Amino acid sequence: MRGHDQGQAEALVSAFIGLSPYRKAIAPLLGDITRIALANRQVGEALATVERRADFRRTGRLDLAGLGNEKAVILAFLEHIRFASPDFLRSVGEWPLGEIRGRV
């Protein structure tokens, strides 16, 4: 997804967030998720492939039938984001990091 403006990339990532079972929890992190996705070669390439295959730039929609293996890569990335998020870590007593074990 190199060469895309932040708004285009965020629209695509937002569409994927909408497919995630964690969408409610991770949607507020859209800007950070997009930045991290674009910095990650595997996720960035998967997004670029889906964007081309689904003609997302023109339609603004994802074609679920055409997501291929990239769907698994991107949804796994979003799942990782969810379970590494401050909100989730706080819910299990690990935010700030190590708080539950008395570490600061």
pLDDT tens-digit readout, 46-100: 999 999 999 999 999 997 777 899 999 999 999 999 999 999 999 998 888 766 6
Q: Is residue 59 part of a domain?
A: yes
Q: Is residue 80 part of a domain?
A: yes
CB 33 within 8 Å of CB 13: yes
Q: Is residue 1 part of a domain?
A: no
Q: Is residue 48 part of a domain?
A: yes
Domain span at residue 65 reads 6-101
Q: Is residue 86 part of a domain?
A: yes
Integer Cα distance of 66 and 50 in angstroms: 8
How many angstroms separate the Cα of 64 from the Cα of each of 16, 41, 67, 74, 104? 10, 22, 6, 13, 44
pTM for the whole structure: 0.85
Q: How many CB atoms are closer than 10 A to CB 18?
A: 10
- When pLDDT is averaged across residues 29-57 and rounded to a whole number, the result is 95
pLDDT at residue number 98: 62
- What is the domain count for the chain? 1
Q: Is residue 57 part of a domain?
A: yes
Band (29; pLDDT cuts 50, 70, 90): very high
Check residue 101 and report its DSSP letter: G
